[in-house]
Structure 1
């Protein structure tokens, strides 16, 4: 009789986030859980860690210490993997502070081990915005003093060549910063880039500006000169210029923040309409309420909406999908709704259309909500629960035969029609006390082809009747035992806690993490028998 070579046999894929065989622990709510290897633990923590901020079950200090310890450990044990993680984390992962902190701890560990290799490249890779060299110096000197090792100096110098230009000087070189552009130049000593003949004059001007002796702006620094001319316009004439010569704002690289200060009056419709063409998509999303309250015209609003509906613009913005939900939730006017729905769809383009029957469980317990839990990246007011709802709703909307469930200690199914609005579906999610994943799985699993759980994993034990050894009672039952071994279970970790709710890495049990849709693409790969890699390992 054939046991393995049957029509139902299919290859089993592997995933990189792996638990350690035989290593068990308890979740924060008391269920039997699983410990992961160091790389897996660091990855899940890195993609969810907002440095210096408390989590529901973990203080900021404990969380940051765990992160730094893991980075330092792996910087020595596996420097290539760790450097790859840090570069990806700041790039596609879009986690700024965790990447900056991680790179600093990486360098310190490598230097302490007497093997500084990879350090310069790690520093350079995480500096992607012109204010970040100063941030990097601020973190390093506050922890390790003013002496800068050569890899730190050289990595910062490499980044400065890439990042410093006239616009970045105007935006980020402000008196509020502890390390101004001139300070960074003095400490890192970067040479001007050979392909930027104006950069030497920019560096010298930044130094002069820092020391208060900047005089005539060099002729080649045209944007700086345009800003200087704009600042000389009398205050009483500035508002009129918005309609008569608004092109001067773009020439002077004015942002909406700097425009408000330049006008020395509240931003009205004319001010917003003058600056909107130069605003990025993130700035537009955050200011929809301001546009409505100021009375921005429908014509201008249509141009803003067209940008949200542009797939290329959404991709270039690198905005997390839940940011479009945030814009929708806070905008008072309905005129943005359709465009934000399209923007969300573009940002979730990687969510696959899963075949067959899919059980999708979304955690709505108190640890996923504000007032109980840490803020999300960028100190957003969009809690983990709403991020989970966005991803769960999008996955369900595209699945062939989905069962979408919200759960806490109790659970309920959310019915919807295919093709309806993801944003409207997210509005229907509620809040449910407690966290009990096993009970939700037991209640709703019914021959599904896969189970996806979007959660912080800190479940209570699942207690079910037991008649073992001839007497009644209740026994703990794990999630792993409730789903047949040939059915994949995907645990989507939203908070990066140490203990997981299921085993992972193979045998149809997998854990993922991160706040983008890219990891969802791994589900079809694994189900085809492919081996998923770390996202920076192509």
Structure 2
């Protein structure tokens, strides 16, 4: 075992903390970089560095895999910007068939992604002159033209924004073929800027905000009535509801409306159709926590039910499988997932850990920084457990001594079938005792040969702290509950990327 470890060092590298790490193959590195990016600065990597690395990796990968990864990122993980990057960069490298146009058609899921795609096309191709979008790739043109047929008047009007590239520009550029007279009329309205203003909660509240009220009380009553009207209309989407729970409660809507709101939040069909990333529920939960209302506890409970409904089909580990879940709460994990988000990588690791704990039976859960500490919490709650971990994070410090998780299991001779670390994979040793996750895991495998180690990479920096081709070590990446589909595939004897390879283009 020691011999194998030192042979592995021949292919070793170092991570951003100059600690021993192991490089990923180009498919895995592209996958981890894509599913963990929001195209903003990270703790160890600037936005342009991440984007340049992704572009380089695209060139090193098979075109079909890149296309499938783009579709996976958009349709399964619900990422928006990075799939557009993948298809445009793919278009620069791949010609000769319809792969690019078919992928663009699959990736474009909202009307504004037509213009976002063209905006990135300009940027990627360094177009500087007045006609930045002339000489458009034929396959890009065809894919966008087909995508125009996906949307109705409401969807086009909702996203017809005054940006550098507008829907009108796109329509002139790609010349989509209308499928009937009604759609041709819609295209004419886009050209003539005569799309009707759509009914949205934003437009309704914006219009009300322009009204001059004589008293603050009148204004308050008007906004209460408007929120109740929006709730009654059935046109307040699930994501809009999550984002506005605090506003709705502070508007003092009636108990009847709060009951309707709570029932909708936890409705299985609504949750399934909404396709929200798990951290959206956590963000809403934290906003509601601060509201001084008699309905706050009710809405918090509804959010707990909603997030549990969202993972109802996730397969955890039942008896007799013994599971250890370890969440990285180090300083580098305190990085927001996007410029406008209050959610940190730290939160996502805790949330995914609590989601999995909820689905397991024999499970020990804890967090690591300078130290490793088990935290025993009931499985009945998910979001509340995340908050409790968050409150106690300082108890273990802010280094990244992940090896202590395995060392503790060795010292206590605890047999675990599955050990899962939710981390940015930038593990290092702040104690000076020479311990490393790779060494500790090899020792653990001597004691318990059947054990498996799963690294859930939440940052995608391109290295792993343990060699992935030996000793039952697996890498999974992403911020969505879909990471558990990859986990299931591995458990069924498939490779981690089999879920992506199964995508049809």
Q: TM-score with structure 1 length normalisation?
A: 0.80
Q: Does 1:139 align with 2:125?
A: no
Give 1:339's aligned residue.
Answer: 302
Residue of structure 2 equivalent to 1:41: 29
Q: Is the 8 A contact 1:24 1:35 kept in 2?
A: yes
Judge conservation of contact 2:419–2:453 (CA < 8 Å) in 1.
yes
The alpha carbon displacement at 1:59 in A equals 1.2
Q: Distance in 2 between matches of 1:154 and 1:475?
A: 55
Aligned residue among 387, 402, 406 for 1:437: 402
Indicate yes or no: 2:311 matched with 1:348.
yes
* Distance (whole Å) between structure 2 residues aligned to residue 392 and residue 409 of structure 1: 19
Contact 1:309 1:340 in 2 (8 A): yes
Question: Which of 161, 177, 200 is the matching residue for 1:174?
Answer: 161
- 1:391 is aligned to 2:355: no
Aligned length: 456
C-alpha contact (below 8 Å) 2:24/2:464 kept by paired residues = yes
1:123-522 equivalences in 2 (<5 Å) = 123-144=104-125, 145=127, 146=133, 147-163=135-151, 165-175=152-162, 177-194=163-180, 197-209=181-193, 214=194, 224=196, 253-263=198-208, 264-265=210-211, 268-276=223-231, 277-331=234-288, 332=291, 333-354=296-317, 355=319, 356-369=321-334, 373=335, 375-376=336-337, 379-418=340-379, 420-429=380-389, 430-431=393-394, 432-444=397-409, 446-461=414-429, 474=434, 476=436, 478=438, 479-484=440-445, 485-504=449-468, 507-522=471-486
Rounded to whole Å, the distance in 1 between the matches of 2:73 and 2:9 is 27
Q: Is the 8 A contact 1:33 1:502 kept in 2?
A: yes
C-alpha distance in 1 between matches for 2:338 and 2:97: 30
Q: Aligned-pair distance for 1:23?
A: 2.6
CA contact (8 A) 1:110 1:117 kept: no
> 1:386: how far off?
0.9
Structure 1 residue 254: Cα displacement:
1.0
> What runs of 5+ residues in structure 1 fail to find an aligned partner?
1-19, 218-223, 228-252, 466-473
Alpha-carbon separation, structure 2, partners of 1:527 and 1:257: 45
**Tell me, what secondary structure is at the counterpart of 2:168?**
helix
- Flag the structure with larger Rg: 1
Tell me, in whole angstroms, the C-alpha distance in 1 between the residues paired with 2:437 and 2:87: 41
Distance 1:105 1:161, change over 3 A: same
Distance across 1 between alignment mates of 2:436 and 2:316: 34
Report the more deviating stretch, 486-495 or 475-484: 475-484
**Within 2, Cα distance between the matches of 1:259 and 1:464?**
60
- The 1:287/1:118 distance shift into structure 2, 3 A limit, reads same
Deviation, structure 1 residue 132: 0.7
Deviation at 1:523, TM superposition (A): 3.8
Deviation at 1:28, TM superposition (A): 1.5
Displacement, 1:101? 1.1
How far 1:67 sits from its partner (Å)? 0.9
Distance 1:530 1:61, change over 3 A: closer
Provide the C-alpha distance between the structure 2 equivalents of 1:477 and 1:492, rounded to a whole number of angstroms: 14
- 1:128 CA drift (Å): 0.8
1:393 Cα shift? 1.3
Structure 1's 527 and 35: CA in aligned 2 closer, same or farther, altered over 3 A?
same
Indicate how the Cα distance of structure 1 residues 90 and 530 shifts in structure 2: closer, same or farther if over 3 A, else same. Answer: closer
Query: Displacement, 1:477?
Result: 5.9
- CA shift at 1:341, angstroms? 0.7
Return the structure number with greater relative CO, CA threshold 8 A, min gap 6.
1
Three-state SS of the structure 1 residue aligned to 2:21 is strand
Q: C-alpha separation between the residues in 1 aligned to 2:34 and 2:278?
A: 19
Q: CA RMSD in A?
A: 2.2
**Other-structure match for 1:9:** none
SS at match of 1:486: coil
Distance 2:378 2:437 in 1: 34
Q: Take 1:497 and 1:95, find their aligned partners in 2: how far apart are those partners? A: 18
Partner Cα separation in structure 2 for residue 321 and residue 396 of structure 1: 14
2:476–2:487 contact (8 Å) kept in structure 1: no
Bigger CA drift: 136-145 or 476-485?
Answer: 476-485
CA distance in 2, matches of 1:406, 1:22: 31
Go from structure 1 to structure 2 and tell me whether the alpha carbon gap of 1:365 and 1:525 turns closer, same or farther (over 3 Å shift).
same
Contact 2:281 2:303 in 1 (8 A): yes
Q: What is the CA-CA distance between 1:528 and the residue it aligns to? A: 5.2
Preserved CA contact (<8 Å) 1:437 1:462:
no
